[in-house]
Each structure stands twice: as C-alpha cells, then as structure tokens.
Amino acid sequence: MLIGTYWYDLFIITFTFPITTLTLIIPSARSIYILCMI
C-alpha cells in the first residue's frame, strides 16, 4: 500500500512539474518575443 502511494505521488510530481514549468516559461517567453518584435 505504501509503495503504491509512493509511485502515485511520484507520477503526480513528474506529470505536474513540466506543466507548471511550461505555464511559467511560456508567458515570459512570449512577452520577451513581443518586446523583441517592437
């Protein structure tokens, strides 16, 4: 039971971490791109 919850937490971390980094990086990269276009 403990091993199952550990793998479940590990799966959630590996799945949500790229999404959160993408949602943080994409808007900043877009704003930099817009600034470069001006």
pTM flag (> 0.85): no
Establish if 38 belongs to a structural domain: yes
Establish if 9 belongs to a structural domain: no
Establish if 31 belongs to a structural domain: yes
Residue with tokens 């949500």: 16
pLDDT value of position 32: 86
Establish if 1 belongs to a structural domain: no
pLDDT value of position 18: 87
Per residue in 1-38, pLDDT (tens digit) is 566 788 888 888 898 988 888 888 888 888 888 888 87
Establish if 2 belongs to a structural domain: no
Task: State which H helix or E strand residue 21 sits in.
Answer: helix 2-37
Establish if 6 belongs to a structural domain: no
As given in the structure block, the two tokens for residue 38 are 């001006």
Establish if 3 belongs to a structural domain: no
Establish if 30 belongs to a structural domain: yes
- The residue range of the domain holding 23 is 14-38
pLDDT value of position 1: 56
Q: How many domains, the chain?
A: 1
